[in-house]
Chains A and B, each alone.
Chain A
Amino acid sequence: MYSQTEILKEPEINSSNSAEGELVINIGPQHPATHGVLHLVVTLNGETVKKVEPHLGYIHRSIEKMCESLSYRQFIYVTSRMDYLSAHVNNHACAMTVEKAMQIEVPTRAQYIRVIMDELTRIASHELWWGALAMDLGAFTPFFYAFRERETINDIMEQTCGARLTMNYMVPGGVMADIHPSFQQKVKDFIKLFKSNIDEYDELVTGSVIFQSRMKGVGCLSKEDAISYGCTGPVARGSGVHCDIRKIYPYEIYKQVEFNEIIETAGDSFSRYLVRIKEMKESIKIIEQLIDNIPEGDYQAKTKAVLKLPKGEFYTRVETARGELGVYIVSEGGTTPYRIKFRSPGFSNLSALDHMVRGSKIGDLMATMGTLDLVIPDIDR
Chain B
Amino acid sequence: MFSLQGITSGIQSFLHARFSASGVLIFESLIVILLATTLFALLGLVLVWMERKVAAQMQIRLGPNRVGPMGIFQTSADTLKLILKEGLTPDGADKLLFNLAPFVVMVVAMLLLAPIAFAKGFQVWDINIGVLYITAVSSLSVIGILMAGWASNNKYSLLGAMRSGAQIVSYELSAGLSILTIVVLTGSLQLGDIINAQQNGWWLFKGHIPVIIAFVIFIIAATAETNRAPFDMAEAESELTAGFHTEYSGMKFALFFLAEYINIFIVCAIAATLFLGGWMPLHIGNWQGFNHLMDYIPSSIWFFAKTFALIFLIMWFRWTFPRLRVDQLLNLEWKYLLPISLFNLLLVTVIAILGWHF
Contacts and interface: CB of A to CB of B under 8 A. Distances in A.
A145 B60 contact: yes
A214 B238 contact: no
Determine the interface band of chain B, counting residues with CB < 8 A from chain A.
20 to 34
A301 B277 CA distance: 78
Interface stretch (A107-115, A172-180, A356-364): A356-364
A361 B319 contact: no
Given A23-B155, A210-B230, A139 B320 contact: yes
Contact of A210 (B163, B319, B322): B322
Given A25-B155, A32-B238, A144-B59, A361 B325 contact: yes
Given A25-B155, A25-B156, A139 B237 contact: no
A34 to B, nearest CB: 9
A204 B327 CA distance: 23
Interface in B49-68: 55, 58-61
- Give the interface SS of chain A, mostly helix, strand, loop or mixed: helix
Contacts of A211: 322
A134 B60 CA distance: 16
Interface in B234-248: 236-241
Q: Which of B159, B229, B325, B328 has the most CB of A within 10 A?
A: B325
Interface residues of A, number: 32
B148 to A, nearest CB: 18
Nearest to A364: B325
Contacts of B326: 47, 361-363
Interface string A177-212: 000000000000000000000000000110010110
Interface string A141-167: 101110010000000000000000000
A210 B321 contact: yes
B328 A139 contact: no
Nearest to A367: B325
A150 to B, nearest CB: 13
Nearest to A24: B155
B86 to A, nearest CB: 20
Nearest to A362: B239
Contacts of A366: 238-239
Contact of B323 (A44, A139, A141, A144): A139
B315 to A, nearest CB: 12
Contacts of A21: none
B323 A138 contact: yes
B324 interface: yes
28 contacts: A23-B155, A23-B159, A25-B155, A31-B241, A32-B238, A32-B241, A44-B159, A47-B159, A136-B238, A137-B323, A138-B321, A138-B323, A139-B321, A140-B59, A141-B55, A141-B319, A141-B320, A145-B60, A148-B60, A210-B322, A210-B323, A210-B324, A213-B325, A214-B324, A361-B325, A363-B239, A363-B326, A366-B239
Interface of A: 23, 25, 31-33, 44, 47, 134-141, 143-145, 148, 204-205, 208, 210-211, 213-214, 361-366
Interface of B: 55, 58-61, 155-156, 159, 163, 229-230, 232, 236-241, 319-328
